[in-house]
Amino acid sequence: MNALEISNLKKTYKTGFLRKETVAAVNDLSFNVRKGEIYGFLGPNGSGKTTTLMSVMGFITPTSGKILVLGDSPGSSKSRERIGFLPDNPVLYPYLSGYNALYVVGRMFLLSHSEINKRIGALADELGMDRELRLPVAKHSRGMRQRIGFAQALINDPELLIMDEPMNGLDPMGRKMFRDVIMKRREKGKTVFFSSHILSDIEMICDRICVIRDGGIIYENTMKGISESRPGETLEDIFMSMMGSGK
């Protein structure tokens, strides 16, 4: 079973003042994320990762191609009940305290008052949040905002977790915490799909990765497959050699 199916996804943007020129941000992209796996989505800056995630979430309409999220079309309320999403640079109700912001999110899932409090408490322990909950989100540091971002993505205990650059702004402890959070979700049978540049973390937690470049897949393999076919090489070596070739 696949948690996410993307086939022949294409997205072109019109640019320029008169919207005459077009750029293809994603071009004929196809891959699947299986249920229960941690899937890493790699690629250099501007390769189309965010564009792909925005299409998966239904925030933008693809020019062509097909996407199925948990068997549903992107952006359907039904699938959103079971998804957690962390955007790049998350901001959430900047004038509310972290606690109140998360509380409102909990209410979007129609959770009860006591259930929301229970979940916020559990997430505060897991993510190491304390001041985050009391300060208004606008006054948070980058890493604090990222933690609130995780919490809002996890509050509905999602089956599928979709994240854009989740390690952004986190210190080494934060990144360790993040890896633990992800591994724990996999033990519970959840699916995780995220984009990142931080290859060492990807290496540690992912089951499978793909690399995109100029909007198309140039490599896909399981981590096991990678270590068998290219023993002794780190993901960084492989990534660099891939980017080096063809330049």
Partner 1 sequence: MIRRAFWVSAATIAELLKDRTIAGVFFVGVAMIFGGYVVAEMAVVERMKMFVDTGVGAVFVAGVFITLMAGSNLLGREIRDKEILCTLSKPLPRPVWVVGKTIGLLVAVAVLIFSLATVLLIYLKFQTNVWKPEIFLACFFIYLEMVILCNYIVLFSCVTTQYLSVFSGILILLAGGMADDLKIYWDSASPLAQGMSRLLYYALPNLGAYSPGPVLSGSVSVPANLLFAMVFSAAMYVIVAVTLSALVIRKKELA
Ligand X SMILES: Nc1ncnc2c1ncn2[C@@H]1O[C@H](COP(=O)(O)OP(=O)(O)OP(=O)(O)O)[C@@H](O)[C@H]1O
What order do you get walking across the sheet with 21-34 strand by strand?
21-34, 2-15, 64-69
Contact partners, residue 76, CB within 8 Å, separation at least 6: 58, 69
The site string for ligand X over 43-72 (x = CB under 6 A, - otherwise) reads x-xxxxxxx---------------------
- Which residue in 72, 81, 214, 220 binds partner 1 (CB under 8 A)? 81
Contact 156, 128 (CB under 8 A): no
The site string for partner 1 over 177-216 (x = CB under 8 A, - otherwise) reads ----------------------------------------
- Which residue in 12, 27, 63, 100 binds partner 1 (CB under 8 A)? 100
Q: Verify binding: residue 100, ligand X, rule CB under 6 A.
A: no
**By CB under 8 A, which span of 56-64, 172-180, 196-204, 232-240 interacts with partner 1?**
56-64
User: Which of ligand X, partner 1, Mg ion, none interacts with 45 (beta carbon under 5 to 8 A by kind)?
Assistant: ligand X
Taking CA atoms, 135 is separated from 26, 31, 91, 126, in Å, by 39, 41, 13, 19
- Which residue in 27, 30, 50, 63 binds partner 1 (CB under 8 A)? 50
**By CB under 5 A, which span of 14-22, 44-52, 70-78, 151-159 interacts with Mg ion?**
44-52
**DSSP helix/strand/coil, 13:** strand
CB of 121 to partner 1, least distance (A): 20
Looking from the CA of 231 toward its CB, the CA atoms found within 13 Å total: 1
Q: Verify binding: residue 152, partner 1, rule CB under 8 A.
A: yes
- CA-nearest of 8, 97, 2, 11 to 50 is 11
Tokens of 244: 């080096």
Q: Verify binding: residue 226, partner 1, rule CB under 8 A.
A: no
Contact 137, 98 (CB under 8 A): yes
Q: Verify binding: residue 50, Mg ion, rule CB under 5 A.
A: yes
- CA-nearest of 113, 114, 115, 102 to 148 is 102
Q: Can you give the binding site for ligand X, defined by CB under 6 A?
A: 13, 15, 23, 25, 43, 45-51
